[in-house]
Structure 1
């Protein structure tokens, strides 16, 4: 139901109509029970501005934001892992010193600032990046939606031109998120790797003639749990950063939808957006806990706290 109020102070009838539409006309217990029932069926009501279902709008737009977040997360973890290894193992090298200094800049520059700088440098000045006007150029169309994730849909459709266009349009926001958030993982991972390199477990493996690969696997396994926790926290930050860049690069994801709701005081949209993002964060934290229990047996329920090799 689309609610349209006239300008000025609403009449009592209009006020009552809006309260009823938002489910605010009952007691607190009734409102909470109604909210839980709607939440169970992924029903967040209808937008006060567009009149469309909030749940359907979020399901339509969230894959675009998650697509950017997941790709950026993968690139951030890979870059941070390689860079942390160089810093920890080749401390005196020029690359190690530069990367260590870079790790100390964690959180120094906001992602939206990096986004504006990247657009100015790579699009306006150098002309390397495509125009920040969406996932594809203005003359192209997105592939038919099967999964909601445009890149995966293009891969399933086998359209190499659209795949290349989507990757080109995602390259700049992914680069911004990677450079902005990789130092947060590096700061923790460098400390963990340096500690694991000098640990008795590492010396034992070296003394018993274990291969270099096995030694490195042991080092990273013992170094990973603290970094995994940071990655879980980082995912929420990357999701927020993706929403900001979504608006900046006109990707038509959930970020633009949420910002539009804030501008128009569209309460059902804001409520649905917050509940959905909170639910995604809870799922990510659960995955982090399960991953840490797999990587470190000492973190499993009922396990002893003795060291492991």
Structure 2
């Protein structure tokens, strides 16, 4: 187990190095000049050129990348081109709102998806099963940005049940829950649909297994058959989908933070891309990549907890 963890950490380092290079290269070949954004469209060429020289943008690409990596190794993500704010501090300032949104969205996806999948499997070919299948198709078909816009229109503007947007109250207060519930439902719905389909198919497969028939023949109560024997063995693929859903939800925050006016990492990245703020974009993408690979490692370790027969060896 220890050897496996160290191997994964070693792989994570190379993945993050690759991500840093791809993002750094992509930003430098993208149209637009950071110096022009800073100086303004009406600035004389010599002013723009002086800014480029001061920022090191005239240096060869690999010199710029080497300087960036030298700072990154020391934990320095650089400074924003637009605000001169330390990138690490800017990200940490916005991170709680994104964590709040993703945690709530993932909770919605897991609870709704697993519950609907179980009900659909236990009531196979009934109206409940067909309703759950329809929900899955609907959840996968509706774009998050459209659903978020409609949710604001209905629940915030027309019914006035929730605030229009933004996270302005502490998480576990009544006002905080009001602010969180609609963005969380919007973010988690598509992942809940995927999880529901996976849980349903795995439960149906497990319920037809010989060991389930054996448990029933021994007089084991149906609730125990479903929740202990069947669900536990059906959860491994579902856990995999949950791990992948985390990455999907992180991508979804980029759009939904704009829709719901939430000052999180996604909104920070959108603004930074528009302004060609290279250090801010690189820092935000590295954080997302690091979080994603860590979540994948946690998912692999959860397999062992759910099914002790799984072993990664020494």
Aligned match for 1:95, one of 128, 138, 142: 128
Q: Is the 8 A contact 2:106 2:188 kept in 1?
A: yes
Change (3 A) 1:220 1:8: farther
Written as runs of structure 1 = structure 2, the 5 A alignment for 1:255-294 is 255-294=266-305
How much has 1:210 moved relative to structure 2?
2.1
How much has 1:104 moved relative to structure 2?
2.8
Rounded Cα–Cα distance in structure 1 between residues aligned with 2:137 and 2:175: 34
RMSD: 2.3
Looking at both structures, which has the greater relative contact order when contacts are Cα pairs under 8 Å and sequence separation is at least 6?
A: 2
Change (3 A) 1:211 1:261: same
* 2:101 paired with 1:68: yes
Rounded Cα–Cα distance in structure 1 between residues aligned with 2:255 and 2:52: 33
1:74 is paired with a residue whose SS is helix
2:219 is paired with a residue whose SS is coil
Q: Is the 8 A contact 1:232 1:284 kept in 2?
A: yes
How much has 1:32 moved relative to structure 2?
5.1
Q: Is the 8 A contact 2:110 2:192 kept in 1?
A: yes
Q: Is the 8 A contact 1:189 1:223 kept in 2?
A: yes
Written as runs of structure 1 = structure 2, the 5 A alignment for 1:27-176 is 28=62, 34-132=67-165, 134-136=166-168, 142=169, 150-151=170-171, 163-176=173-186
TM-score by length of 2: 0.80
* Structure 2: runs of 5 or more not aligned: 1-33
* 2:235 paired with 1:224: yes
* Structure 1: runs of 5 or more not aligned: 137-141, 143-149, 156-162, 304-309
Alignment partner, residue 17 of structure 1: 54
Q: Is the 8 A contact 2:68 2:78 kept in 1?
A: no
Change (3 A) 1:27 1:121: closer
* 2:199 paired with 1:189: yes
Change (3 A) 1:33 1:263: closer
How much has 1:193 moved relative to structure 2?
0.5
Alignment partner, residue 5 of structure 1: 39
How much has 1:187 moved relative to structure 2?
1.5
After superposition, what is the alpha-carbon deviation per residue over 1:89-124, rounded to whole angstroms, capped at 9, x for unaligned?
112432221112222335311111110111112122
How much has 1:8 moved relative to structure 2?
5.0
Aligned residues: 275
After superposition, what is the alpha-carbon deviation per residue over 1:112-169, rounded to whole angstroms, capped at 9, x for unaligned?
111011111212222222222x223xxxxx5xxxxxxx42xxx5xxxxxxx1111101
How much has 1:25 moved relative to structure 2?
3.6
How much has 1:27 moved relative to structure 2?
7.6
Q: Is the 8 A contact 2:117 2:198 kept in 1?
A: no
TM-score by length of 1: 0.81
